[in-house]
Amino acid sequence: RSAYLNPDIDDAVRGGLLRPEEIPLEVRRVLGETLPARLDTWIADVVDYTEKTGRIGQSPEVAAATEGLREFLFARVYVGSVAKKEEAKVGLMIQALYEYLLAHPTEIPPHYRDETNLARGVGDYIAGMTDRFAVAEFNRLFVPSCWPVEWGEGQ
């Protein structure tokens, strides 16, 4: 869960959907106020919990705060927000990227080009993209670049 929660917070803040101080106080108290602090908390907690119990997991306090953060993001970002209105566009963008990359596998890194299952490799490649990278790739592949237009006399 923590792998997607932090980037989603960052995206939501940059997109104006929320301010960091709107994250519930108890969540911030346990996990930290910033992206690096939350990452440090999650990593240290997994290491500590695993050393103490012999099982990979999170302490109950960090697990509860992480679940609280997830619930908060569902309520504020994932459902009923401005971002939700863009969902159909995102689906079309992902579909276009998938179809293009499947037809042009040299556009993806070599370790994703498994000839026995190229569709899976393309899907894995797209799944690993950040939102910003996916939009940048879509723009690179499908949106014409602007070029200077010089007007001659009489035009």
Cα pseudo-dihedral 40, 30, 70, 7, rounded to 10: -30
The string of DSSP codes covering 7-67 is HHHHHHHHTTS--GGGS-HHHHHHH-SSHHHHHHHHHHHHHHHHHHHSS----HHHHHHHH
Among the listed residues 80, 81, 94, 66, the one whose alpha carbon sits nearest the alpha carbon of residue 6: 66
Q: Which two tokens stand for residue 130?
A: 């950040």
Q: What is the pLDDT of residue 82?
A: 64
64-110, pLDDT tens digit by residue? Answer: 999 999 999 988 887 766 666 777 788 899 999 999 999 999 999 99
Q: Which amino acid is at 93?
A: M
DSSP 75: I
Q: Which amino acid is at 96?
A: A
Please state whether the predicted TM-score (pTM) of the whole model is above 0.85.
no
Q: State what percent of residues in the chain have pLDDT above 90.
A: 63
Q: State what percent of residues in the chain have pLDDT above 70.
A: 89
